[in-house]
Amino acid sequence: MTTVNDFIEQFLIAVDFQEPVEVTPDTVLLDLPEWDSLAALGVIVMFDIEYGKTIIGDDLKQSITIQDLYNLLSR
Amino acid sequence: MGLSTLRHVRFAGMASCVPKRVLSNIDDCPPSLQSERARLIRNIGIETRRICPEWQYFSDLAFIAAERLLGDLKWERSEVDALIVISQSPDYLIPSTAIILQDRLGLSNATIAYDVNLGCSAYPFGLHLLGNMISAGSIKKALLLVGDKCATVRDPLFSDAGTATALEFYADAPPMYFDLNSDGAGYKAIMLPVGGHREPYAYYHGIPRRDEHGQMHWPNDLILDGPAVLSFSTQRVPPAVEATAAYAGLKLEDINYFVFHQANRMINDTIRKKLRLTDDRVPSTLKEFGNTSGASIPVTMTARLREAMEAEKKKLLLCGFGIGLSWGTCILDIDGAVFPEMIEA
């Protein structure tokens, strides 16, 4: 079982932000300055390769916080 | 149709031509976007691209590639029975670019010539189309011209190229295996919405808006739904590759090289990892040549595998995927084919 902290670590690798940023489960994705289409693609790939889970663009649009993304793992 | 086999078709040769003009994804973009571009380049894997000057078109690149290939093959012009062009950047909306090239290349009036409208998935579909005519015995020698003029200074992905491939009838040729698929439900994922009959050009399509970076966007720009294309490519391609290999009675270890359409590094790396393939068997030209649409498979074969294929017989798996949505896989043996080095024009 992946912990939310492990998930955040993977998330930060996947989005490849240029500027360091603090992320908690409650962080709102749209509040992250570099959350963009490239970061979204990185997260889709992360779910596929790291967790063997298929998510689509709509799943991301419906996810408000990091916790919402993490919850997709157990969907 | 899905899976199929073609017999008596020999892959005789291939030539690829790119424009001389090189675009850098870092240097040729506004200073305000350069830091963002560094991150983009890390993820899409494209550092430089090739772009035609205003006076050069896809058909010019394909013409040069075809001239070189015909010369190296020492084929008589009168021997070419069919010339198929697969492109989404024709010279004119009508008539077919292939017919104009029939005359320009000095091929006979008895040549079958027409265009097919496919993009990134084009190459396996083209081999299948001409291969079928040859396999059926109705023609003996044919040329397939694939490519696009799709680069713009603004867009960091696309790059220009024109390629020519020669196929011929050979009774003892090893079989070619195909898996060809279409999913029109995804047609909105990549499209040019304006300029066809459903939405002809009108004056308001010429009015751009400026975004926060000062970049202009026109209503008739290409639409590309990144997440949809990524999901399509990474979900559809790996099972198609495995299914084609199984149909051919092969394990993935039996195949020397896997040449995938060069979409971007995120997509291509994900496909490679899902198939557990090592880098050395999956050549890439993204860094130098970007996404050359339907030409990316031949461009990659020319740039990366030319010497290996001239040295000895190789078994290749080619897989194109993209606009349509459409995806096709082909497994073939290449033995003694003509491979001129990359042409810059």
Instruction: Note the ipTM here.
Output: 0.92
State yes or no: pLDDT of B313 exceeds 80.
yes
DSSP code at position A34: T
Please give the single-letter amino acid code of residue A44.
I
Q: Helix (H, G, I), strand (E, B), or coil: what is residue B244?
A: helix
- The CA angle B213-B215-B221, to the nearest 5 degrees, is 140
Q: What is the pLDDT of residue B187?
A: 97
Domain parsing of chain A, residue ranges = 4-74
Query: For residue B29, what pLDDT band results from cuts at 50, 70 and 90?
Result: confident
Asked whether the beta carbons of B86 and B146 are under 8 A apart, the reply is: yes
Q: What is the pLDDT of residue A31?
A: 94
The topology (CATH level 3) of B1-202+211-345 is Peroxisomal Thiolase; Chain A, domain 1 (3.40.47)
* pLDDT tens per residue, range B257-266: 999 999 999 9
- What is the share, in percent, of chain A residues with pLDDT greater than 90? 87
Mean of the per-residue pLDDT values for chain B?
96
Strand duo B9-18 + B161-169: pairing: antiparallel
Residue whose token pair is 């027409």: B114
Which residue of B39, B225, B266 is in closest CB contact with A18? Answer: B39
Q: Helix (H, G, I), strand (E, B), or coil: what is residue A67?
A: helix
- Helical axes B265-274 vs B226-247, angle rounded to 10°: 40
DSSP bridge partners of A46 = none
Q: Which of A15, A41, A59 to mutate to test the interface with B (most CBs of B within 10 A)?
A: A41
State yes or no: pLDDT of B272 exceeds 90.
yes
A53 to chain B: closest CA residue: B235
Q: What is the pLDDT of residue B1?
A: 60
Task: For B317, list phi and psi in degrees, rounded to 5.
Answer: -115, 125
Cβ-Cβ contacts under 8 Å, A49 against chain B: 270, 273-274
Please give the single-letter amino acid code of residue B65.
A
- What is the share, in percent, of chain B residues with pLDDT greater than 90? 89
Q: Kindly state whether A71 is in contact with chain B, defined as any CB-CB distance less than 8 angstroms.
A: no
Exposed e or buried b per residue across B296-317, where buried means at least 16 C-beta atoms within 10 angstroms of its C-beta: bbbbbbbbbbbeebeeeebbbb
pTM reported for the whole predicted model? 0.95
Q: Kindly state whether B273 is in contact with chain A, defined as any CB-CB distance less than 8 angstroms.
A: yes
CA distance A17 to chain B (A): 8
State yes or no: pLDDT of B34 exceeds 90.
no
Q: What is the pLDDT of residue A70?
A: 96
* Position with higher pLDDT, B2 vs B317: B317
Cα–Cα distance, B42 to B110 (Å, whole number): 50
Distances (CA, A) of B112 to B52, B60, B135, B140: 28, 20, 16, 12
Asked whether the beta carbons of B291 and B151 are under 8 A apart, the reply is: no
Cβ-Cβ contacts under 8 Å, B38 against chain A: 18
Which residue of A34, A38, A56 is in closest CB contact with B231? Answer: A56
Q: Kindly state whether A61 is in contact with chain B, defined as any CB-CB distance less than 8 angstroms.
A: no
Segment A58-69 mean pLDDT: 94
Q: Kindly state whether A44 is in contact with chain B, defined as any CB-CB distance less than 8 angstroms.
A: yes
Cβ-Cβ contacts under 8 Å, A54 against chain B: 231, 235
Q: Kindly state whether A54 is in contact with chain B, defined as any CB-CB distance less than 8 angstroms.
A: yes
Architecture of the A4-74 domain: Orthogonal Bundle (1.10)
State yes or no: pLDDT of B141 exceeds 90.
yes
Q: Estimate to the nearest angstrom the gap between the alpha carbon of A39 and the chain centroid.
A: 8
Interface subset of B 232-251, CB within 8 angstroms of A:
234-235
Q: Helix (H, G, I), strand (E, B), or coil: what is residue A18?
A: coil
CA distance A18 to chain B (A): 7
Q: Kindly state whether B225 is in contact with chain A, defined as any CB-CB distance less than 8 angstroms.
A: yes
**Rounded-to-5 percentages of helix, strand, coil across chain A:** 60, 5, 35
* pLDDT tens per residue, range B279-300: 999 999 999 999 999 999 999 9
Asked whether the beta carbons of B270 and B124 are under 8 A apart, the reply is: no
Cα–Cα distance, B282 to B272 (Å, whole number): 8
Q: Estimate to the nearest angstrom the gap between the alpha carbon of B262 and the chain centroid.
A: 8
Q: How many residues does chain B have?
A: 345
Which residue of A18, A40, A54 is in closest CB contact with B35? Answer: A18
Asked whether the beta carbons of B327 and B237 are under 8 A apart, the reply is: yes
Cα–Cα distance, B3 to B328 (Å, whole number): 10
* pLDDT tens per residue, range B175-234: 999 999 999 999 999 999 999 999 999 988 889 999 877 778 888 889 999 999 999 999
